[in-house]
Structure 1
Amino acid sequence: MQIDFSPKVQELHGRVKTFLEENVFPNYERREKEIAANAKEGNAYRTYPVLEELKAKAKAEGLWNLFLPESGHGYGLSNLEYSPIAEMMGRQYWSAEVFNCSAPDTGNMEVLERYGTEEQKEKWLKPLLAGEIRSSFAMTEPAVASSDATNIECRIVRDGDDYVINGRKWYITGAAAENCKVFILMGKTDPDNANRHRQQSMILVPKNTPGVTIVRDMALYGFMDPPAGHPEVLFENVRVPVSNILLGEGRGFEIAQGRLGPGRIHHCMRVVGMAEAALELMCRRVVSRVAFHKPLSDQSLWRERIAKSRTLIDQTRLLVLHAAQRMDLVGNKVAAKEIAMIKVAAPNNCCKVIDWAIQAHGAAGYSQDFLLTSYYAYARHLRTADGPDEVHNNAIAKLELAPYQLKHPK
Structure 2
Amino acid sequence: MKDLIRKWNEISLVKRILVGLIIGITLALTIPEAAAPVSILGNLFVGALKAVAPILVFFLVMGAIAGHKGGKQTNMKSILVLYLVGTFLASVVAVIASFMFPVSITLAAGAEAVSSPGGISEVLLSLLMNIVDNPVKALMNANYIGILAWAILLGFALKSAGQTTKSFISDLSEGISKVVKWVISLAPFGILGLVFDSIATSGLDALLGYGKLLVLLVGSMLAVALIINPLIVYIKIRKNPYPLVLRCLRESGITAFFTRSSAANIPVNMNLCEKLGLDKNTYSISIPLGATINMAGAAITIAVLTLSAVHTLGIPVDFPTAIILSVLAAVAACGASGVAGGSLLLIPLACSLFGIPNDIAMQVVGVGFIIGVLQDSCETALNSSTDVLFTAAAEYAEWRKQGKAFKMLHP
TM normalised by structure 2 equals 0.29
Q: Which protein, 1 or 2, shows the higher relative CO under an 8 Å CA cutoff with sep ≥ 6?
A: 2
**Quick check: which one's helix share is greater?**
2
TM normalised by structure 1 equals 0.29
**Quick check: which one's strand share is greater?**
1
